[in-house]
Structure 1
Amino acid sequence: MVRPPTEQGYSQAEALCDQTIKDLPNSLQGCIIQVSWPNRLASIHEAQSRYQEALTAVHSASRGDNKAQT
């Protein structure tokens, strides 16, 4: 039986969401697992955004440190 594309897309998104949660440190998993499905996606998107901001800040600080050393 072939599932409609929308249903298949939701299944794939949910599987990706579940894998993302499994990839989190144990201390963070409980915070996200108890949240409803729509909120879970929003929480993961927010976490990814914060992680990207942190990487950008570290990169900027690193470039600033390199300039100070030269």
Structure 2
Amino acid sequence: MTQFALHSPLLHFYSLRLIVLIYLVKLCKFLFILFTLIAPILLLFLLLSILVFLQLFESVNIFFVA
């Protein structure tokens, strides 16, 4: 009886679903940590690049006005 329960396809299906669910949760945690660490750095980089672009544009604009 126990051997039938161990080799039951339904049990195997549910154990596979559980394994997939655990890996999905781990992946979500990893992605969340990754985005919370990298997103501020990316936003800062974007802000700096916009500021640099505006500075370049302003200097070119002043150059054309002068």
TM-score by length of 2: 0.49
| Structure 1 or 2: more helix by fraction | 2
Q: Which is higher, the Rg of structure 1 or of structure 2?
A: 2
Query: Highest relative contact order (Cα 8 Å, sep 6+), 1 or 2?
Result: 1
